[in-house]
Amino acid sequence: MASRNKRLRTAESDSPAILPELSEDELYPLDDDQPPADWDPPRQSAPEATPHDNPIGEPILEATGLVKIYGRRKVVDGVELKVYEGEIVGLLGPNGAGKTTSFNMTCGLVEPNEGLVRLNGQDVTRWPMHRRARAGMGYLAQKESVFRKLTVEQNLTGVMEILGIPRKERKERCQLLLDQFNITKLAKSMARDLSGGERRRLEIARCLVSEPRIILLDEPFAAVDPVTVASIQGIIRDLRDRGIAILITDHSVRETLQITDRSYVIRDGKVLCSGKPSEVIQNAEARKYYFGDSMTLDLPGPHQPRRQSLATFEEDHEDYEA
């Protein structure tokens, strides 16, 4: 097993993704590093769900009073957000607004100076990413996170082995994921030979191996063509319909708002506004500082694929936050 883990860790993955970078101690932590005994572990078959117009019950993920200070600058100042089961939530904002830092504190990449992050009601603020992953939080990095020297199939079964999934279950579960993401014909292909869209599908499939209750997506629409964008949007909707909660941060505003049920707009380290896509688009402050006056959003009936009409919306959204 140790040699297998070594091969996986040296398979040319240069991403900050959770599983490829785990040490032996992280893969098999001591008992006192395990989630609490009363933690409700993620289940493979999530209940059917529809988008929440008015979310009820307890949120899967909740951030309250997040603060991050770098030097003398307060980059994030009291950000709060909630994500409920079967809901797609966007985290948007202009360059330097604090959205990336807020996102990174929520997923565990950055530790806040103040505030709390709760996952399924448990305080996970100080938990490292690998521990959050075991507790039901999936994370998909913007950068490439596949094992380039392994096949598509090996990328999936390798993660299953790391997670301790019994050998007899791996083949069936691997085939289900290959079929679900329409990459069965690529099973024996090397990951390094995949197109951008194929690689993104594999990365999302790998993220689902751990059966997360919520997935945090960092720039899922980056560096892919329009056809692939539509395909990824469809995949994200399917995940939502399975009851999985989704939090997205992306500079592709139109693509993000086309699929979100709610969004938060961050400015100057604070939540400027939040609500349904049509609501945040019409917010006067958000239009002034982020969307611009020319942006419009046309939505069809409820729970249908959304199409957005933008008159002129030029964005240069490379994030330069600390």
- Condensed to tens digits (0 to 9), the pLDDT of residues 169-225 reads 999 999 999 999 989 999 999 999 998 888 989 999 999 999 999 999 999 988 778
Q: What is the CATH number of the domain that holds 219?
A: 3.40.50.300
Which pTM was predicted? 0.75
- Condensed to tens digits (0 to 9), the pLDDT of residues 59-109 reads 999 999 999 999 999 999 999 999 999 999 999 999 899 999 999 999 999
Parent domain of 200:
2-291
Q: Is residue 227 part of a domain?
A: yes
Any residues with CB less than 8 A from the CB of 170 and at least 6 apart, and which?
Answer: 157, 160, 161
Q: Is residue 33 part of a domain?
A: yes
Q: Is residue 256 part of a domain?
A: yes
Q: Is residue 264 part of a domain?
A: yes
Q: Which amino acid is at 67?
A: V
Q: Is residue 225 part of a domain?
A: yes
Q: Is residue 85 part of a domain?
A: yes
- Condensed to tens digits (0 to 9), the pLDDT of residues 280-301 reads 999 999 999 999 887 776 554 3
Q: What is the pLDDT of residue 55?
A: 64
Instruction: Give me the mean pLDDT over the 270-280 stretch.
Output: 96
Residue 18 has pLDDT above 50, yes or no: no
Q: Is residue 202 part of a domain?
A: yes
Domain count for the chain: 1
Q: What is the pLDDT of residue 226?
A: 87
Q: What is the pLDDT of residue 163?
A: 87
Using pLDDT thresholds of 50, 70 and 90, give the confidence band for residue 145. confident
Q: What is the pLDDT of residue 312?
A: 29
Q: Is residue 309 part of a domain?
A: no
Residue 126 has pLDDT above 50, yes or no: yes
